[in-house]
Amino acid sequence: MTGDIANVPAANPALIQARASLAANQVLTLFNAMAELIPPGENAKAEVVALKQVGQQFELLLRVLLANGSQVSVQATSDQPLTPGTRLLVTQSSPIELNLSLQQINNAANNLKTELDLRQVPVGTLLQAKVLTNQAIDKATGQVIAQPQGAAAALPATVAYRSIIILLNTALAGTSLSLESPAPLVPGSLLSARVQDSQALSFVPLPGRLDQLAVSQQLAAQQSRQGSLESLFKALQDLPRTQANLPPAVQTRIDTLLAELPPLRQLTSPQGLAQALNASGMFMESRLLAGQDMAQLPDLKAGLLRLVAQLLPPGVPANVAYGAAAASNTLVRAMPSAIRNALGTLGQVAPRPEQLSFPLPARDVAAGVDKDDLELLLKLAAAAVSRIQSHQLGALEQTRSNADGTQVTTWQTEVPTRNAHEVVPLQVKIQREDPPPEEDPRQAGEDRSAQAREPLWNIDLAFDLEPLGPLQVHARLVRGTLSSQLWAQRESSAQLIEQELGHLRDRLVACGLTVGDLSCSHGAAPQGPRTQLEQRWIDENA
């Protein structure tokens, strides 16, 4: 195929030659001995459920239908890649071996598609797939080349790489596709490619080498596991200091976490707001990569991970000096599977959400559990970490290049603040949209001035502050003009804000801004894309 994927002929000679070189019987070796799984002289139907490449071998998960009607799952290794969904007829020759006929192997090979149906995936369709296998082959002979570690330099000049991928989207989702590429594809990785014709694909480069499909899948899993930050902080504030089973180190960690919450008034100054956003947990990973000492810097996500490390079950090392990265690694190794799932550390594939919502909805994961129970705190802390990760992944998922060339960059986070004795989380989404570059700046009209090329900024805020109740703000800044729409779910709050909009306008003008429309509505903000911005880069005077 073109680009990163070489052209794959419809009649793949490598596959034909591989089929011809097969022995009369193909043996699958079971991971565990299973005597008389299939009675002697009888056969059983089996289906390949999963395929994984390990070196030059392939691990299979088979679902075997026995004569009595029951099903059993078995793991086996094979010299040949048998794709998920392949149906087989197997016999058992020993407690650790299942046999397939050459006919079965040929049928399995024929299940692999080598060209695309353009009626189902027209030219230009973006395909997303998972790489199942990758083998080096000699294009001159069609033979598979054994590729031991470090032997890449000894490969012949005619080497190519044959891979099996399984499509994850479009009408062909679940279809296995055989392709060749000049460079190896990593088994288990995800890729995106655009259809050029029935036998040609080209990889789609993603910003920062980020696989958008992996982000979307992980985001869907995180959103289903996240819990509201206010639930955790309310439980921490209500936790009795005299509780007998509360270790002193845990109480110290809780006090530190609560003390690091910024007061609400800190967000009224630019410097205070910048400090609060930096400590929100959104930048924890980048700060770690920069070599910063997280023990000396306030960071919400790092603090939550340290709290989780303190709450781990007995037998797990609980060192108060744990860094954020060490605590995260400990979670993967030692936490109960239910809590590990809540943190999203398993990387399970989940359906892509139809639409990313802002703000993230309130969600309580503590229903029916005693407030003083340490297991509850562990669950709430895990859900809070998952909520921060939902914001981080949501920002990555919304950072993209549109079809018209507009570059959209998104930052999304949540800042819990102290307002008297209450903790008020403030959800923030900042989005910058840069217009597409001019194809030929010399031909640009006079109206396409430097001011017309300025980025467009969208800012969304969501919080629940008494006595106003739930509020949401959407502000838009373009060409030096600021417009804003507010929504208040309480009618009295909407009326009060409407009366104060004139004062807000005066304050914004005093800051040097040109102010456009300001309005406040009663109710909840609409979800989904705002259609009034779809043609924002078209010059009305052109």
Segment holding 433, helix H or strand E = strand 422-434
Residues 345-374: tens digit of each pLDDT: 333 333 333 446 788 888 777 654 555 567
Task: Tell me what pLDDT residue 366 has.
Answer: 62
C-alpha pair distances (Å), 476 with each of 351, 431, 456, 517 = 32, 10, 7, 10
Q: In the chain, what are the domains?
A: 1-205 (no CATH), 214-397 (no CATH), 403-436+453-526 (3.30.750)
Task: Tell me what pLDDT residue 340 has.
Answer: 40
Q: Which residue shows structure tokens 């009888």?
A: 42
Task: Tell me what pLDDT residue 542 has.
Answer: 34
The list of the chain residues with pLDDT below 50 reads: 1-25, 149-153, 207-210, 242, 316-355, 368, 443-444, 446, 530-542
CB 427 within 8 A of CB 411: no
Task: Tell me what pLDDT residue 3 has.
Answer: 44
Residues 85-120: tens digit of each pLDDT: 888 888 888 888 888 876 666 666 666 788 888 888
Q: Is the dihedral of CA 78, 80, 81, 85 positive or negative?
A: negative
CB 60 within 8 A of CB 48: yes
What is the edge-to-edge ordering of all strands in the sheet holding 481-488? 400-401, 407-419, 422-434, 456-465, 469-478, 481-488, 514-522
What is the edge-to-edge ordering of all strands in the sheet holding 190-197? 176-181, 159-167, 126-138, 190-197, 200-203
